[in-house]
Amino acid sequence: MRQGIWLWVWLTLMFSVGELEGAERPETIERVKASVLGVATHLRTRVPPVELRATGFVVGDGRHVLTNAHAIPDGGNMKDFERLQVIVGRAGQPGLRNAELVARDREHDLALLRIAGPPMQPLELRAEPPIREGEEYLFTGFPIGMVLGFYPVTHRAMVASLVPIAMPATQGAELSAERVRRLRRKPFTVIQLDGTAYPGNSGSPLYDPRDGRVVGILNSVLVKRTRENLLKNPSGISYAIPIRHALPLLRQVGVDKRQ
């Protein structure tokens, strides 16, 4: 009888905790969406003039944005009068702000932008405690760019594994120059997710559904060059770079404001 009572109490508590965690998600997503923006280039003579290249999110003092470095064109690759900008505003009602690249980390494919205009609400970053396999997170971004309009989309993903960014080759023919460089360095660990991300999700924040703190940055482009370069078809596996690798960029420009 006593065991039955304790079982009932335990199930009631577990159900209540599940309800509370589920209730937190809509508020967390709404708060995070206000800090998520599009990273784009603008050229008046192009059709359409705005080309969305990736997702980014506001950090630090509210005037800086983290995204993927591969989404930021080098100066020599930009056409005359083409400008780097971010797309901000409420869903379906985008506005543009000028942006400039202030720091880049090619090793981890990360970039830090400074944006014009008033500060926005930054997201908090969580480098500790480290994430664990089986934990569940959310990521918000623009999975197919502007095709269906400026509406951020949120996906749910479990941490499927923590894996090295580069895999050893079984034969010499598999070695590319980039893969050799990564294997010579100590390969760092990336987050493998069971959620599906698309090209426009590059730079999306991977965050805790309970409090919105960011633990990683979506990036499949960099990882797949060294882990899946022999696959003829995309695997559909998504990856994220742990947020701790972005902290040196924030310290470099003096906007590391973790709580």
Residues 133-192 have pLDDT tens digits of 999 999 999 987 777 778 899 999 999 999 998 755 544 444 555 555 655 567 799 999
User: For the chain, how long is the longest CA-to-CA vector?
Assistant: 79
Contact 119, 63 (CB under 8 A): yes
pLDDT of residue 62: 96
What ranges do the domains of the chain cover?
37-123
Strand partners, 218: 240
Q: Which residues pair with 104 in a beta bridge?
A: 111
- pLDDT for 11 equals 39
Mean pLDDT of 48-66: 95
Please check whether residue 64 is in contact with residue 253, taking contact to mean a CB–CB distance below 8 angstroms: yes
Q: What distance in Å separates the CA atoms of residue 42 and residue 86, rounded to the nearest whole number?
A: 9
Better-predicted residue by pLDDT, 223 or 129: 129
Whether residue 8 is predicted with pLDDT greater than 60 in this model: the reply is no
| Number of neighbouring beta carbons within 10 Å of residue 110 | 24
Between these two residues, 73 and 145, which has the higher pLDDT value?
A: 73
pLDDT of residue 227: 62
Give me the mean pLDDT over the 93-112 stretch.
93
* Alpha-carbon span 54 to 142, nearest angstrom: 7
pLDDT at 120: 96
Helix (H) or strand (E) holding 251: helix 247-252
Mean pLDDT of 85-94: 82
The pLDDT value recorded for residue 230 is 53
Which amino acid would we find at residue 119? P
The CA distances from residue 232 to 227, 229, 235, in Å, are 13, 8, 9
User: Average model confidence (pLDDT) for the chain?
Assistant: 82
Which range among 4-13, 52-61, 63-72, 108-117 shows the weakest confidence by mean pLDDT? 4-13
- How confident is the model at residue 17, as a pLDDT? 39
| Topology classification of domain 37-123 | Thrombin, subunit H (2.40.10)
